[in-house]
Structure 1
């Protein structure tokens, strides 16, 4: 029996794979609650009020660069939440990109039902899941999903978290300063602190989180 109790699903529409996922979570993962969001952005905006989530499952056709960047941001800000992609694509480059982004699982919808169930349970038990064709090739190691294991909320102050999120969204220092009604110098000061705590040298380095 898994110990997780609260999960989230991010999907535009439901399908048979998500129906199967919900059943597995309820029947085998001690699920007490499933929160559902229509988009990654919606989830990002509301996660600050849902810090008790154990895992989030993202239903995608195939992960885009923009989506993976957003998932990196979630990974940094909420490092205690396990992030899993359920995708139609089983291409190696998509799986590897997901793992490099810090995902704890990549589950192709092309898996047979029994393997799909095993994949979900593997993640619920705190392990990393990738398709056997990738894992057996020795390309992906479980440690890859633990590149940034410490929850960034313990590293950054609340204000720094807010600034970090806006930086990752592509806003300039001037635009962020306007949002907070502070000077641009104040935002630059926050940037320096964020760079230091996250081990980044410049704004572009955030793409690796």
Structure 2
């Protein structure tokens, strides 16, 4: 597994890389301290990078601008913003640009690692503050549809069957996978879509 960390604060970046090495097996971390070095690292390693953790405020530009550029140049890359900024409008903007998560820097270590694991599993991490901001503007079902683009192919299959009203057992039989695997996919789908129940996964009318 390979993660690119782009952050200009040496102490934070090095501490994060150490945490990743302690928490995940067989991980290779690539470090960059500005947009220019991040662009070069992505150019060299984009085929093998599993996740980009991108700071927003960098010495030679803004992370959101680099996010937009990388999403065009390397649409297969999973990019999460990791920033001290907690502006709900900025968080929403990054998600609209295709970020797979927005992780505030003051997030606890446990939540940070859970967010990274969720993203690596194909999910979308939305901090509580942003989730309540979005749901105050949109219905839960609209939010669910908006974020299905971040699901893996298998999770999309599970979601499609969920929307037909099938149970986990019936989905497992339909896809020839275990019921436990279906349950794991359903958990990721609910979190990724920002909803709390299966009934909220229906298409908006």
TMscore range, shorter length: 0.5 to 0.7
Distance change >3 Å, CA 109–CA 67, structure 1 → 2: closer
CA-CA distance at 1:143 after TM superposition:
4.4
1:25-56 CA distance string (max 9 Å, x none): 32343343111112123222342221211111
Structure 1: 5+ residue stretches without partners: 150-209
- Residue 126 of structure 1 aligns to a residue in which SS? coil
Aligned to 2:96: 100
Structure 1 equivalent of residue 29 of structure 2: 34
Check conservation: 1:88, 1:110, Cα contact below 8 A. Answer: yes
Task: Give, in whole Å, the separation in 2 of the partners of 1:24 and 1:142.
Answer: 34
User: What TM-score comes out, normalization by structure 2 length?
Assistant: 0.58
Post-superposition offset of 1:141: 4.7
CA distance in structure 2 between the aligned counterparts of 1:81 and 1:30, rounded to whole angstroms: 21
RMSD of equivalent CA atoms: 3.0
> Of 45, 52, 56, which aligns to 2:48?
52
Shift of the alpha carbon at 1:108? 0.4
Aligned to 1:192: none
Matches within 5 A, 1:2-151: 5-16=1-12, 18-50=13-45, 51-61=47-57, 67-137=63-133, 138=135, 141=144, 143-144=146-147, 146=149
Distance 1:141 1:14 in 2: 37
- 1:57 & 1:145 partners in 2: Cα distance? 21
CA deviation string 1:117-137 (max 9, x = no partner):
222222222211111122245
**Which residues of structure 2 form unaligned runs of 5+?**
153-205
